[in-house]
Homo-oligomer: A and B are copies of this chain.
Amino acid sequence: MIDSKNKPKTDLAGILNQYRDFVKQELFPIDLKVVQGPFKSYLPQLNALREKAKKLGLFAPHLSEKEGGLGLSLLEFAHVSEILGQSPLGHYVFNCNAPDIGNMELLHLFGSDFQKEKFLKPLQKGEIRSCFAMTEPENAGSNPVNLSTVAQREGDHYIINGHKWFTTAADGASFTIVMAVTNPEADSPYQKASMVIVPLDNPGYQLVRNIPIMGEAGEDYFSHAEVKFTDCKVPANHLIGEEGQGFVLAQERLGPGRIHHCMRWIGICERVFSMMCQRAVDRELSPGKSLAEKQTIQNWIAESRAEINASRLMVLDTARKMEEQGAKAAKEEISTIKFFVADVLMKVIDRAIQVHGALGVTDDTLLSFWYRHERGARIYDGPDEVHKSSLARSILKNYQRK
* A interface list, Cβ under 8 A from B: 36, 135, 137, 140-143, 146, 165-166, 211-216, 277-278, 280-286, 290-292, 294-299, 301-303, 305-306, 309-311, 313-314, 317, 332-333, 335-336, 339-340, 353-354, 357-364, 368, 371-372, 375-376, 378-380, 383-385, 387-389, 391-393, 395-396, 398-402
Contact of A212 among B141, B292, B357, B362 (CB under 8 A): B362
Within the complex, the shortest CB–CB distance from A132 to chain B, in Å, comes to 14
Residue pair A140, B354 in contact (C-beta under 8 Å): no
* B-side contacts of A400, CB under 8 Å: 281
Residue pair B142, A357 in contact (C-beta under 8 Å): yes
| Identity of the chain B residue whose Cβ is nearest the Cβ of A300 in the assembled complex | B392
Contact of A395 among B143, B277, B284, B378 (CB under 8 A): B277
Contact of A361 among B313, B335, B364, B379 (CB under 8 A): B379
Within the complex, the shortest CB–CB distance from A43 to chain B, in Å, comes to 21
CA distance A282 to B138 in the complex (A): 11
CA distance A299 to B401 in the complex (A): 20
Sort A-B residue pairs by CB-CB distance and give the 9 closest, nearest first. A215-B215, A298-B392, A302-B388, A310-B310, A212-B363, A295-B295, A313-B313, A301-B392, A302-B391
Given contacts A140-B284, A372-B214, A379-B358, contact A310 B299 (CB under 8 A): no
CA distance A51 to B292 in the complex (A): 51
Contact of A392 among B143, B297, B333, B402 (CB under 8 A): B297
Residue pair B314, A309 in contact (C-beta under 8 Å): yes
User: Per DSSP, are chain A's interface residues mostly helix, strand or loop, or mixed?
Assistant: helix
Q: Beyond the given A140-B283, A140-B291, could you list 16 further A-B residue pairs with CB under 8 A, ordered by the A residue number?
A: A214-B361, A214-B362, A214-B363, A277-B399, A292-B392, A294-B385, A296-B299, A296-B385, A299-B389, A302-B336, A302-B389, A302-B391, A309-B317, A309-B333, A309-B336, A354-B384
Copies in the complex: 4
CA distance A104 to B282 in the complex (A): 37
Contact of A336 among B143, B306, B354, B357 (CB under 8 A): B306
Residue pair A305, B395 in contact (C-beta under 8 Å): yes
12 example contacts (A-B, Cβ-Cβ < 8 A) are as follows A215-B372, A216-B216, A278-B402, A295-B389, A305-B395, A309-B336, A310-B311, A313-B314, A354-B384, A357-B379, A361-B376, A372-B372
* B-side contacts of A361, CB under 8 Å: 213-214, 372, 375-376, 379
Residue pair B310, A141 in contact (C-beta under 8 Å): no
Contact of A36 among B36, B212, B303 (CB under 8 A): B212
Given contacts A285-B143, A354-B379, A402-B278, contact A387 B302 (CB under 8 A): yes
CA distance A166 to B358 in the complex (A): 8
| Identity of the chain B residue whose Cβ is nearest the Cβ of A145 in the assembled complex | B286
Contact of A141 among B286, B358, B375 (CB under 8 A): B358
Residue pair B215, A363 in contact (C-beta under 8 Å): yes
Given contacts A310-B314, A375-B371, contact A358 B380 (CB under 8 A): yes
